[in-house]
């Protein structure tokens, strides 16, 4: 498991919601990598959702087909919550893009914070201009990162 100690400590006067000991390299390329990670995770969640939908449709002999369309949000909630709160601190898409999600104090995000972060993210996708906040904030944090109290960084080498 990686931690903040693997980055070279840099004394930087930053915003109170960012760890002062993260070097600029921890945030380099994070925004573009996040976009690619989102698309990878979206594909995986879609595959899981379709597989669960078909399995439940078969198990109930088609009686649950009308109740199953809202299955994607539930799968996304648990997919993000379980993978981000796990030992890798990242979804498979985030791991592929060399990213990890932590609380601002550097700890692993608990399940509820990781899942709430995902819910806030999917709500943010309905209002795309909100993502412009990441262009002006310290640490390239999106609004849903700030609200959830987490920070996205590159994995330490």
The pLDDT tens digits of the residues spanning 120-141 come to: 998 998 998 999 998 888 778 8
Q: Which of 116, 122, 143 is nearest to 132 (CA)?
A: 143
* Residue ranges in the chain modelled with pLDDT below 70: 1-21, 157
Which domain, by its residues, includes 99?
Answer: 28-154
Q: Is residue 22 a part of any domain in this protein? A: no
pLDDT at position 69: 75
Check residue 10 and give its pLDDT.
40
pLDDT at residue 9 in the model:
41
| Domain total in the chain | 1
Residue 3 belongs to some domain of the structure: no
Q: Is residue 44 part of a domain?
A: yes
The answer to whether residue 52 sits within a structural domain is yes
**DSSP letter for each residue of the chain:** ---GGGSPP------TTS-TT--GGGGTTHHHHHHHHHHHHHHHHHHHHHHHHHHHHHHTTTTTTTT-TTHHHHHHHHHHHHHHSSTT-S-HHHHHTTEEEEETTSPBPPHHHHHHHHHHHHHHTTSGGGGGGGGTSGGG--HHHHHHTEEEEEPP-
Domain-located, residue 122: yes
- Report if residue 74 sits inside a domain: yes
Does residue 20 sit within a domain? no
Which pTM value belongs to this model?
Answer: 0.80
Q: pLDDT value at position 34?
A: 93
pLDDT at 65: 81
In a domain, 62, yes or no: yes
């Amino acid at each position: 498991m990686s931690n903040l100690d693997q980055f070279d400590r840099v004394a930087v006067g930053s915003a109170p919601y960012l760890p002062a000991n993260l070097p600029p390299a921890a945030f380099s390329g994070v925004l573009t990598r996040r976009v690619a990670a989102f698309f990878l995770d979206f594909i995986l969640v879609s595959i899981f959702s379709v597989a669960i939908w078909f399995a439940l449709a078969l198990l109930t002999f088609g009686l649950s087909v009308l109740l199953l369309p809202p299955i994607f949000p539930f799968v996304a909630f648990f997919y993000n919550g379980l993978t981000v709160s796990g030992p890798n601190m990242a979804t498979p898409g985030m791991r592929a893009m060399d990213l990890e999600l932590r609380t601002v104090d550097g700890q692993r995000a608990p399940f509820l914070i990781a899942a709430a972060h995902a819910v806030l993210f999917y709500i943010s996708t309905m209002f795309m201009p909100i993502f412009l906040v990441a262009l002006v904030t310290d640490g390239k944090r999106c609004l849903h990162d700030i609200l959830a109290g987490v920070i996205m960084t590159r994995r330490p080498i």
